[in-house]
């Protein structure tokens, strides 16, 4: 152990001297040295090193210092703590003490949680007053805070507070949860790497990680195993009740659950409209890496996206994997909660293994819209699900429990969907009256599919299209048609299998006693007898492969106009159509094959014809041109004769009005055989002369 005297000498820039030399010093010199040592020990600021702080010993307050953190616990304050580590003396015993972190503007606080267990949940001990309750770990300030995870950490807060709380304001900084190092402090990069974890549980109206009651939440996660559970009305990760949630994930393994009602698994909390202005509910979520093992929304909220009434803005990209995004009843799996619109982009190499609404929301898209009587009839207030899937993104399963589409609109919702690039869709399944891809019940679908897209199964629910409109959509106008565009691009050609929903005998949303017929595989859903069906505008360009099976009589189109025909499609196009009975209802132009190579024509003298003389005068002789045929005005073939005189071939039709039919290949062969002029004549000696 180094002595204070040696430490003092090192600070002064000298090396310790030997015992013999010290013994020769005068008494005065020794007294002066001891006095100097005492002065240094009492008065100077010594270099600071990492300290371990035990939460069991009391509340901890951390702020940014000049060269590290300023840490206070009880009567102890340490300046310039360069690597603040917080732990428990007894990890199996939860502490009731708290951690408060404040980063000033322009400063960054770095803190490590190492096997910390804090539980400050006191139930409803102080009534319904959030300020009376504690927060396990609170992050504040306009600077930035990074929390490193070592070992297993558990944070549980009281009523009105998030487990790990960071309320987002106009002036707040960022909170980043990370797992950059192994538990022993070593760098990652081997098979023996360790992963830090965090389990955070919020109190009533508060997120597991993010906002407290009536507060927005902001969270960035770059690593670790995270399990977050929000209290009633709040998101698992994101906003508190009446709060918005801004969440960014670049790595890690995450499970986020909202309990009770109205909060998203990841995103916004409960959105309220007390004075015609929405407060909270919006979810802005960007996931560019890592794995979302589960994101479960509460009643009327999305699994990933917005809470009740909020806008769900979701971007999933990079190599992110979503194993299960589960929307609560009337909320989307990925997108928006009830009465909320969505803006969704899924791109890069992202994989969505399962995105599902338990009922009335889209698997990927919007939550349920509104339908209510106003005295003069029913008011339909549609939500809108805007979804773009591109790049190499892969959707394995997107499903609605009922009423909503697999991808697009929720019940009483419009689905605007773009699928392009090399995107792959496994199953997109609508609930009853919801399209596989497109609109939910009462909602239209505007769907664009282009490029090297594969859709293995787009299945409409009963009465709804596989791709296109939901059931019972009305009235019909040019602006409210179901629009579907499918085309090939330089990236490749689409390969699509779609099935229309079958008959709904139990009746629809607007009239529970009126059954609905089966719907088109691509096009419009069905309506009750006597209602005006919204028609479909369908365009197909280039080369496509489509297998369409209608749930009723029509495979591609609508029951008003029947099957839609296409022309001018590229070679290699194959469109297969079947109705619900399995009958082939294919149309002209559905299959475009490579043209057959024409037989090479030969011009041979007719048997018995005179051979040409050796003189300068050419002799007209009968010949046969293989492949040539002549038709009359009715298009029926009629007889003809051919003669050749030198370089002129004459075709004589046995009819008054006739047409000669030759392929370009035949003309080229005739030219190679020295024919330069074609003369076509009828019984009235009317002739047409063409230069070869």
Mean pLDDT across 217-227: 98
Question: Residue 105 phi/psi, 5° resolution?
Answer: -55, 130
Confidence of residue 602 (pLDDT cuts 50, 70, 90): low
Question: Is 557:548 a contact under the CB 8 Å cutoff?
Answer: no
Structure tokens, 367: 């939550």
Closest CA to 87 of 61, 110, 62, 115: 115
342 vs 312: CA distance, rounded Å? 5
pLDDT at 596: 66
Burial grade of 646 (CB within 10 A; 0-12, 13-18, 19 or more): middle
Confidence of residue 31 (pLDDT cuts 50, 70, 90): very low
The strand pairing partners of 87, in sequence order, are 54, 114
Structure tokens, 431: 């609930």
Confidence of residue 507 (pLDDT cuts 50, 70, 90): confident
What is residue 187's DSSP assignment? B
Q: Does the pLDDT of residue 597 top 80, yes or no? A: no
pLDDT at 605: 57
Q: Please state which of the ranges 362-376, 416-430, 469-483 shows the lowest mean pLDDT.
A: 469-483
What is residue 551's DSSP assignment? S
pLDDT at 607: 52
Q: Does the pLDDT of residue 15 top 80, yes or no? A: no
pLDDT per residue as tens digits for the range 243-262:
999 999 999 999 999 999 99
Instruction: Give the 3-state DSSP-derived string for 654-685, with helices as H, strands as E and coil as C.
Output: CCCCEEEECCHHHHHHHHHCCCCEEEEECCCC
53 vs 524: CA distance, rounded Å? 65
519 vs 190: CA distance, rounded Å? 55
Confidence of residue 11 (pLDDT cuts 50, 70, 90): very low
The secondary structure of 116-178 as a DSSP string is: -EEE---TTTT-S-GGGS--SEEEESSSEEEEEEESEEEEE--TT--SEE-B--TT---EEEE
Distances (CA, A) of 178 to 196, 254, 302: 9, 12, 25
Confidence of residue 606 (pLDDT cuts 50, 70, 90): low
Confidence of residue 600 (pLDDT cuts 50, 70, 90): low
Q: Does the pLDDT of residue 661 top 90, yes or no? A: no
Structure pTM?
0.81
Closest CA to 65 of 112, 98, 99, 108: 108
Structure tokens, 452: 């090297």
Mean pLDDT across 399-410: 97
| More confident of the two residues 50 and 226 | 226
Mean pLDDT across 381-389: 97
Mean pLDDT across 494-506: 95
Confidence of residue 429 (pLDDT cuts 50, 70, 90): very high
Q: Does the pLDDT of residue 649 top 60, yes or no? A: yes
pLDDT at 667: 85
Biggest CA–CA distance in the chain, Å, is 149
Closest CA to 332 of 346, 351, 314: 314
Q: Residue length, the chain? A: 692
Q: Please state which of the ranges 101-110, 405-414, 657-666 shows the lowest mean pLDDT.
A: 657-666
Mean pLDDT across 319-337: 98
391 vs 631: CA distance, rounded Å? 53
Half-sphere exposure of 485 (CA within 13 A, CB side): 11
pLDDT at 685: 65
pLDDT at 611: 45
CA 269 to chain centre: 20
Provide the percentage of residues in the chain whose pLDDT is more than 70.
89
| More confident of the two residues 505 and 549 | 549
The whole-chain average pLDDT of the chain stands at: 89
pLDDT at 38: 39
The secondary structure of 15-80 as a DSSP string is: PPPPHHHHHTS-HHHHHHHHHHHHHHHHHSPPPP---EEEGGGS-EEEEE-SSSEEEEETTEEEEE
pLDDT at 599: 58
Q: Does the pLDDT of residue 618 top 90, yes or no? A: no
pLDDT at 621: 86
pLDDT per residue as tens digits for the range 61-107:
999 988 899 999 999 999 999 889 999 998 889 999 999 999 999 99
Confidence of residue 376 (pLDDT cuts 50, 70, 90): confident
Q: Please state which of the ranges 20-29, 180-189, 361-370 shows the lowest mean pLDDT.
A: 20-29
Mean pLDDT across 442-459: 98
| More confident of the two residues 671 and 573 | 573
Structure tokens, 76: 């102890």
Distances (CA, A) of 652 to 290, 591, 619, 683: 78, 36, 17, 8
Q: Does the pLDDT of residue 14 top 70, yes or no? A: no
pLDDT at 73: 97
What share of residues in the chain are helix, strand, coil (percent, to 5)? Answer: 5, 40, 55
Distances (CA, A) of 12 to 9, 38, 378: 5, 14, 88
pLDDT at 665: 81
Q: Does the pLDDT of residue 389 top 80, yes or no? A: yes
Q: Please state which of the ranges 75-79, 97-101, 164-168, 653-657 shows the lowest mean pLDDT.
A: 653-657
pLDDT per residue as tens digits for the range 265-306:
999 999 999 988 999 999 999 999 999 999 999 999 999 999
């Amino acid at each position: 152990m180094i002595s204070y005297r040696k430490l003092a000498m090192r600070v002064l820039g000298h090396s310790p001297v030997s015992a013999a030399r010290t013994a020769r010093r005068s008494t005065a010199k020794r007294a002066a040295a001891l006095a100097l040592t005492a002065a240094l020990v009492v008065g100077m600021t010594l270099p600071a090193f990492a300290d371990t702080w035990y939460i069991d010993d009391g509340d901890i307050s951390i702020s940014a210092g000049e060269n590290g953190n300023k840490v206070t616990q009880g009567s102890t304050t340490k300046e310039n703590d360069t690597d603040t580590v917080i732990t428990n003396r007894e990890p199996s015993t939860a502490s009731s003490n708290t951690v408060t972190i404040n980063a000033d503007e322009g400063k960054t606080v770095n803190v490590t949680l190492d096997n910390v267990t804090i539980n400050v949940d006191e139930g409803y001990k102080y009534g319904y007053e959030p300020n009376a309750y504690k927060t396990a770990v609170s992050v504040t300030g306009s600077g930035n805070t990074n929390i490193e995870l070592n070992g297993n950490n558990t944070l549980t807060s009281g009523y009105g507070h998030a487990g790990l709380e960071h309320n987002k304001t106009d002036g707040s900084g960022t909170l980043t949860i990370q797992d950059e190092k192994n538990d022993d402090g070593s760098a990652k990069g081997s098979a023996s790497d360790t992963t830090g974890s965090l389990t955070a549980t919020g109190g009533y109206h508060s997120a597991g990680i993010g906002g407290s009651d009536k507060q927005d939440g902001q969270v960035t996660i770059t690593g670790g195993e995270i399990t977050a559970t929000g209290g009633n009305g709040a998101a698992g990760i994101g906003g508190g009740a009446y709060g918005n949630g801004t969440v960014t994930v670049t790595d890690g393994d995450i499970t986020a659950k909202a309990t009770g009602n109205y909060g998203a698994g990841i995103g916004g909390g409960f959105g309220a409209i007390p004075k015609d202005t929405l407060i909270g509910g919006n979810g802005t979520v960007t996931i560019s890496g890592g794995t979302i093992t589960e994101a479960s929304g509460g009643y009327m909220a999305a699994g990933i996206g917005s809470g009740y009434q909020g806008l769900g803005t979701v971007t999933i990209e990079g190599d992110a994997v979503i194993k299960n995004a589960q929307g609560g009843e009337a909320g989307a799996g990925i997108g928006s909660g009830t009465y909320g619109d969505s803006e969704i982009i899924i791109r890069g190499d992202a994989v969505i293994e399962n995105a599902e609404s338990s009922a009335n929301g889209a698997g990927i898209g919007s939550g349920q819209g509104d339908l209510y009587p106003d005295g003069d009839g029913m008011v339909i207030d549609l939500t809108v699900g805007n979804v773009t899937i591109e790049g190499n993104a892969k959707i394995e399963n997107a499903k609605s429990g009922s009423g909503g589409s697999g991808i697009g609109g929720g019940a009483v919702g419009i689905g605007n969907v773009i699928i392009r690039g090399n995107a792959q869709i496994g199953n997109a399944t609508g609930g009853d009256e919801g399209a596989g891809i497109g609109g939910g019940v009462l909602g239209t679908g505007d769907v664009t599919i282009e490029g090297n897209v594969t859709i293995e199964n787009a299945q409409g629910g009963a009465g709804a299209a596989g791709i296109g409109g939901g059931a019972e959509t009305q009235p019909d106008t040019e602006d409210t048609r179901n629009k579907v565009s499918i085309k090939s691009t330089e990236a490749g050609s689409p390969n699509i299998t779609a099935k229309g929903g079958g008959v709904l005998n139990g009746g629809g949303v607007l009239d529970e006693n009126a059954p609905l017929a089966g719907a088109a595989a691509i096009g419009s859903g069905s309506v009750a007898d006597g209602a005006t069906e919204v028609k479909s505008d369908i365009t197909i360009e280039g080369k496509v492969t489509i297998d369409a099976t209608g749930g009723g009589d029509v495979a591609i189109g609508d029951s008003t106009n029947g099957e839609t025909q296409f022309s001018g499609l590229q070679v290699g196009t194959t469109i297969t159509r079947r109705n619900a009975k399995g009958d082939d209802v294919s149309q002209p132009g559905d299959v475009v094959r490579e043209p057959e190579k024409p037989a090479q024509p030969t011009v041979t003298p007719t048997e018995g014809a005179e051979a040409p003389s050796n003189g300068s005068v050419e002799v007209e002789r009968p010949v046969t041109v293989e492949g040539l045929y002549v038709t009359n005005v009715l298009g029926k073939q009629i007889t003809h004769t051919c003669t050749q005189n030198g370089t002129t071939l004459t075709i004589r039709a046995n009819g008054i009005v006739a047409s000669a039919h030759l392929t370009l290949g035949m003309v080229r062969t005739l030219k190679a055989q020295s024919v330069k002029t074609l003369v076509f004549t009828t019984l009235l000696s009317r002739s047409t002369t063409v230069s070869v």
